[in-house]
């Protein structure tokens, strides 16, 4: 096993990465090796898929399989080796189908080699023997750390793109160009690229592709559930039977709400599903009672204390404790051995569990937080915001966004929000917001100082806000009184970072630590070419941001 795809990976002077029997996330060696093999097969599928796209003969089902399969390998998504064994068998069939289609369309073409020719073993022990070929560090001796690190950047960015694209898929939004872009990157990785320039260009191409994917996801979400609007969300429980839905997937939440329709069961959102309350078509469901708990890393305590079933619809899942293992369900790409998985969107047994479990005995005093400041809500008051900037009432905008996590260094983001001057506006998205969103940050002339843009999946909305402000001020995004303070944890954040770099957004402050897969030389490139800045302290970074703004 070797994995260094997330922020919490083991760090050591001698070299970072999880390389023991179990990763920090709880992923064991077998599962990690099976994930590597699956990714290797996806590269093989990408080889054929890229060529079929070029021939105008894409296989939409294969593209969707790739997106879903890549999503299962993100941090804290799927730990079920049984599911990976199934997917490896399925991937071989998909590859065969594409190979047949490609060879039928191009008679006489020599058969493709590399991952496209890989034959997975039938039995698990033999399969694990094959895993070395698929390691993310394969070829290190030949090409060195910098190339391996850049390949990892492309792969992890690609995983993030695939995850966002899968979220759009389930709501019926997909485009051939997304499948083609993902296939292009997989095909490149299948060729064991060693040219740093080519890999850097592919990283930026993925950033551009991700921007389109996020636009697609935005269209899927708003097209299905309406335009998010500012909404007060209850954060304290109401007496009665209860279901908790966590992760990011709005469709699964909708299905749970449909399953409890006509009952008195209260449905609560957890973590990254908080912004669901701002969508009119979800908010209208009377069973949607409020938000419970905080960010993913606190789930073991929060789920143990929740008196009903829990549905985990996407990342981030951590090892379910015995006290709630029977009443947690996974759906979509998520899995854990011995935890019930709902593959067909039928949440009837979750409702059955809710009826059998005690629910909340009492209604707690009401507390609320305000969410729903997507691009439409913010831009609807753009005139007011622009005036506030021109009058000096608003000196600066900070976008404090991204993932949360357990590392103590993440207190930086709480400090940042607390210490930002009162004449600055804080935009936030992702689950990193739980570090500071329960506090009252006040308002500036009626504009709340803390504007919750949504999930990390809503990064498109945040970028649109920045672009619209730049347009209004007739300047570039980098000239706006705006600083991006990004916390990363998993691979969707890597995709968003690539998008920001591809859009030419400079001076992104990145933390709490920099990706372990980036070597000092690669970090040097990010710093020099793209102006990426590692975080220091909240005070120093606030001061530096404001100084830049004043200059």
Partner 1 sequence: MEITLVTRDGERLRFPIAQSDVLAGAEAAGYFLPAMCHEGTCGQCQARVAKGSYEMGKHDPAMLPKSDPAAVLLCRCIPKEDLTVELPYNRAQVLHQKVPVRKAAITAMQPAWEGAVSLTLRLEPDAETGSAAEFAPGQYMELTPPGTDIRRAYSLANLPNWEGLLEFIIRIHKGGAFSTWLAEQAKVGDIMTVRGPLGAFVLDEMSTRPRCFVGGGCGLAPILSMLRHMGEFQDSNAVHLIFGANRECEIPPPAELESLRATLPQLNMSLAVVQPDEEWDGFHGTAPAALRQHLADSTEPVDVYACGPPRMLEVIEDLLRQRGRGDRLIAERI
* Interacting residues toward partner 1 by CB under 8 A: 22, 28, 30, 81-82, 85, 124-125, 128, 304, 307, 319, 321-323, 325-327, 337-338, 349, 352-353, 355-359, 361
- State the minimum distance, in angstroms, from the CB of residue 32 to partner 1: 12
- State the minimum distance, in angstroms, from the CB of residue 78 to partner 1: 13
Neighbour tally for 148: CB within 10 Å: 21
Between 107 and 338, name the residue whose CB sits nearer to partner 1: 338
- State the minimum distance, in angstroms, from the CB of residue 244 to partner 1: 15
Between 58 and 308, name the residue whose CB sits nearer to partner 1: 308
- State the minimum distance, in angstroms, from the CB of residue 350 to partner 1: 10
Between 275 and 359, name the residue whose CB sits nearer to partner 1: 359
**Spatial CB neighbours of 161, under 8 Å, sequence gap ≥ 6:** 178, 181, 182, 206, 209, 210, 213, 495
Residue position matching structure tokens 């899942």: 317
Token pair in block for residue 364: 């707690």
Residue pair 79/172 in contact by the 8 Å Cβ criterion:
no
Between 298 and 355, name the residue whose CB sits nearer to partner 1: 355
- State the minimum distance, in angstroms, from the CB of residue 356 to partner 1: 4
Between 117 and 304, name the residue whose CB sits nearer to partner 1: 304
- State the minimum distance, in angstroms, from the CB of residue 357 to partner 1: 4
Between 353 and 426, name the residue whose CB sits nearer to partner 1: 353
Between 326 and 414, name the residue whose CB sits nearer to partner 1: 326
C-alpha distances in angstroms, 92 versus 102, 418, 546? Answer: 15, 52, 54
> What φ, ψ does residue 293 adopt, rounded to 5°?
85, -155
Between 85 and 493, name the residue whose CB sits nearer to partner 1: 85
- State the minimum distance, in angstroms, from the CB of residue 329 to partner 1: 12
Between 26 and 280, name the residue whose CB sits nearer to partner 1: 26
E-assigned strands of 161-259? 231-234, 242-246
Q: What is the DSSP secondary-structure string of 438-484? A: TS---EETTEESEEEEE-GGGHHHHHHHHHHHHHHTTS-GGGSSEEE
**What is d(CA 341, CA 338) in angstroms, rounded to the nearest whole number?**
9
Helix or strand (DSSP H, E) at 290: strand 288-291
Between 9 and 80, name the residue whose CB sits nearer to partner 1: 80
> For the packed helices 196-225 and 250-259, what is the interaxial angle rounded to 10 degrees?
30
> What φ, ψ does residue 107 adopt, rounded to 5°?
-55, 140
**Residue 3's beta-bridge partner residues?**
18
Interior angle at CA 214, CA 213 and CA 215, nearest 5 = 90
- State the minimum distance, in angstroms, from the CB of residue 125 to partner 1: 8
**Residue 329's beta-bridge partner residues?**
311, 340
- State the minimum distance, in angstroms, from the CB of residue 86 to partner 1: 9
C-alpha distances in angstroms, 375 versus 30, 215, 353, 465? Answer: 43, 12, 38, 6
Our CA dihedral for 353, 355, 357, 362, rounded to 10 degrees, sits at 140
- State the minimum distance, in angstroms, from the CB of residue 304 to partner 1: 7
């Amino acid at each position: 096993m070797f994995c260094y795809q997330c922020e919490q990976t083991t760090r050591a002077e001698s070299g970072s990465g999880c390389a023991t029997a179990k990763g920090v996330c709880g992923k064991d060696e077998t599962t990690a090796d099976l994930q590597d093999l699956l990714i290797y097969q996806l590269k093989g599928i990408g080889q054929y898929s890229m060529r079929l796209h070029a021939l105008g003969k894409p296989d939409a089902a294969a593209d969707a399989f790739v997106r879903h399969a890549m999503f299962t390998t993100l941090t804290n998504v799927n730990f079920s080796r049984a599911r990976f064994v199934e997917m490896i068998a399925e991937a071989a069939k998909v590859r065969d189908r594409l190979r047949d289609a490609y060879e039928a369309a191009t008679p006489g073409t020599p058969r493709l080699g590399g991952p496209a020719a890989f034959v997975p073993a039938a039995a698990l022990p033999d399969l694990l023997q094959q895993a070395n070929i698929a390691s993310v560090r394969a070829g290190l001796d030949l090409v060195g750390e910098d190339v391996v690190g850049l390949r990892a950047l492309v792969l992890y960015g690609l995983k993030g793109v695939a995850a966002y694209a899968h979220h759009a898929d389930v709501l019926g939004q997909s485009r051939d160009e997304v499948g083609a872009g993902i296939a292009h990157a997989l095909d490149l990785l299948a060729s064991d690229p060693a040219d740093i320039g080519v890999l850097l260009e592919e990283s930026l191409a993925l950033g551009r592709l991700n921007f389109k994917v996020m636009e697609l996801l935005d269209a899927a979400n708003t097209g299905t559930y309406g335009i998010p609007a500012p909404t007060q969300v209850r954060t304290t429980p109401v007496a009665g039977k209860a279901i908790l839905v966590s992760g990011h997937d709005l469709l699964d939440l909708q299905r749970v709400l449909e399953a409890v329709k006509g009952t008195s069961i209260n449905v609560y959102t957890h973590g990254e599903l908080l912004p669901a309350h701002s969508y009119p078509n979800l908010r209208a469901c009377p069973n949607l009672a409020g938000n419970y708990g905080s960010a993913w890393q606190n789930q073991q305590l929060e789920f143990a204390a929740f008196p009903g079933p829990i549905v985990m619809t996407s990342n981030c899942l951590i090892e379910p404790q015995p006290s709630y293992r029977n009443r947690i369900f996974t759906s979509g790409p998520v899995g854990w051995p011995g935890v019930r998985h709902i593959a067909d969107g039928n949440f009837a047994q979750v409702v059955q569990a809710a009826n059998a479990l005690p629910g909340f005995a009492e209604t707690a005093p009401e507390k609320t937080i305000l969410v729903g400041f997507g691009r439409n809500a913010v831009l609807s008051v753009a005139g007011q915001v622009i005036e506030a900037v021109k009058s000096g009432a608003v000196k600066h905008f900070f976008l404090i966004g991204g993932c949360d996590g357990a590392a103590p260094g993440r207190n930086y983001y709480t400090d940042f929000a607390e210490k930002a001057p009162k004449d600055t506006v804080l935009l936030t998205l992702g689950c990193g917001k739980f570090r500071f969103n329960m506090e009252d940050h006040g308002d500036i002339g009626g504009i709340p100082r803390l504007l919750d843009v949504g999930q990390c999946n809503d990064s498109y909305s945040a970028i649109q806000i920045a672009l619209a402000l730049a347009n209004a001020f007739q300047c570039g995004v980098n000239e706006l009184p705006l600083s991006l303070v990004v916390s990363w944890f998993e691979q969707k954040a890597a995709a968003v970072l690539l998008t920001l770099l591809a859009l030419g957004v400079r001076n992104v402050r990145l933390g709490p630590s920099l990706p372990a897969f980036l070597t000092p030389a690669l970090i040097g490139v990010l710093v020099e070419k793209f102006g990426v800045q590692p975080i220091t302290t909240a005070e120093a970074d606030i001061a530096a941001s404001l100084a830049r703004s004043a200059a």
